[in-house]
Amino acid sequence: MHGPNGAPPYRQGPPDGKVAQPSRRKNTRKKKRRFPIWARVAVGFLTFLLIVVSVGAYYYYANFSKPLSDITGQTVTRIKGDENPNAGRNGSNNGGILSGGRFNILLLGSDDDYKSVVINQGILAQTDIVVSIDPASKTVSMFSIPRDSWVNVPGFGMHKLDEAYLLGGGGTNGAALSMATIHQDFGIYISQYAWVGLSGFVNVINTVGGIDINVLHPITDDAYPDDTGKGATDPYAYKRLYIAPGPQHLDGLTALEYVRSRHADLVGDFGRSVRQQQILSQLKYKLDNPSVIGELPQLAHDLDGYVKTSMQLQDVFNLLYFAKSLNQGQIGQYTLGPPYSSTTTINNQAVVVLDCAKVVPLIQKIFAIGSAATCQQVDTNNPMAVPARVVAATSGNAPAQADVPAASSSTSWQAAQASALSLFNGNSDFLGIHSLLDLVFLVAFESPAALQI
């Protein structure tokens, strides 16, 4: 067949007369590799874990970071003359507060911060307890020095012991002067301190909903200090305390009055111990109840401003856990009341004068400091003069006191981790809050019985 003008018809085809082959398009799509199920599960778990950790970190910083940092790790500048007697003898280490030899902690308690507003000078430390811990022998001693003891305060002369904290200006400076006073007057070197404002105890009791107890007999005290609580107007006032017998629901302030009144019981100190055991039993029930978990942030804030310590949180936790692991027979309690002291009047105020001939052997026994034990015997005929020093009858070098390691640099996370692995009465001590509460109760009750909570 020919086209126009006799030419052959036009055909489109490959050059050079090659025959066209059917086109075969190359499949460029690659086969998708499936993500293994185990990998998807792992990624999902890690994502979930990241969310949990982030939420937990936010929860911690929002609720616990500030109060815990406000409470622990307070820096104390030592008063001249209050240097560690073993500083050049025993090397310290970083193994934690229980890794060295015997060491001493001063517990200070103040009724209320209200005095700092009223008298604009600071507050008194109305509780002075030296807690001596010997990790090797697994013993703890609580040595209470009466607040009205007439002592020589370094740089200030003769005052009541409770005024040392005030004269130092309160806070870490007040603690430093209190520590230096005890070291100078008794030969006892204090390694760490903890101060408790007892209004914190009131706040804690109110947060857990108060305490229900059965008052066994009327509590009547005509000379109870009226310097605690929002209604207090006079730091030196007294009031008549009355708590009726029978079932009672006590709020925080009344619970504090119930356990601390010293003149209200028909059977003296034994009755006070019974009252304390009642409160402790109810506190144990409240704090072991799972519902308290929701109150932990509030409890932490209840303690903020009412607990201060030079110890790190991990040290507080380790110390209280150690004390709780002991039986009551391993915790000695000593008070410099009669026959170790007597009451007299100096400058129109009632004071406690120590009998140093009896006090020095007691200090030797409790603190194992040999000839370093001392006491300053007040001359009641010239009470403002610097007292004569009464030293231990034994001779020779004093046994090493406490060359306590430097405070642990453990972070709050490490403390929380350790707390989560250890148990108090079957419950974990979340972020050491329970241990800080133990410090409060130890000062409020002035008794090792508080460690039973």
Residues 150-208 have pLDDT tens digits of 999 999 999 999 999 989 988 899 999 999 999 999 999 999 999 999 889 999 999 99
Confidence (pLDDT) at 342: 92
DSSP secondary structure letters along 314-337:
HHHHHHHHHHHTS-GGGEEEEE--
- Output b/e per residue, 139-148; b: 16+ Cβ within 10 A: bbbbbbbbbb
pLDDT per residue rounded down to tens, the chain (453 residues): 555 555 555 555 555 555 555 555 555 555 556 667 777 777 777 776 677 656 555 555 556 778 888 899 999 999 988 888 766 444 344 567 888 788 999 999 987 654 454 444 568 898 999 999 999 888 899 999 999 999 999 999 999 999 999 899 888 999 999 999 999 999 999 999 999 998 899 999 999 999 999 988 888 887 777 666 555 556 567 778 888 889 999 999 999 988 888 776 666 667 778 888 889 888 888 888 877 778 888 888 889 889 999 999 889 988 888 888 888 778 899 999 889 999 999 988 889 999 999 999 999 999 999 989 999 999 888 888 888 877 776 543 444 444 333 333 333 333 333 333 333 333 456 667 888 998 999 999 888 888 777
- The pair of three-digit structure tokens given for residue 323, joined into one six-digit string: 């004390």
Name beta bridge partners: 352.
Answer: 149, 343
Residue-level pLDDT at 288: 80
Instruction: Report domain extents, the chain.
Output: 75-197+306-452, 201-295
Question: According to the model, what pLDDT value does residue 277 have?
Answer: 87
The second-level CATH assignment, the architecture, of 75-197+306-452 is 2-Layer Sandwich (3.30)
Could you give the CA distance from residue 372 to residue 197 in angstroms, rounded to a whole number? 32
Q: Which CATH architecture has domain 201-295?
A: 3-Layer(aba) Sandwich (3.40)
Distance CA 69, CA 176 (A): 20
Burial of residue 89 (CB within 10 Å: 0-12, 13-18, 19+) is exposed
Q: List the one residue out of 210, 196, 214, 204 whose CA is nearest residue 277.
A: 214
Q: Which residue has the tokens 């148990």?
A: 423
* Residue 334 to residue 139: CA distance in whole angstroms: 14
Q: How far is CA 262 from CA 113, 178, 199, 241, in A?
A: 22, 24, 18, 11
pTM above 0.75, yes or no: yes
pLDDT in tens, 24-68: 555 555 555 666 777 777 777 777 667 765 655 555 555 677 888
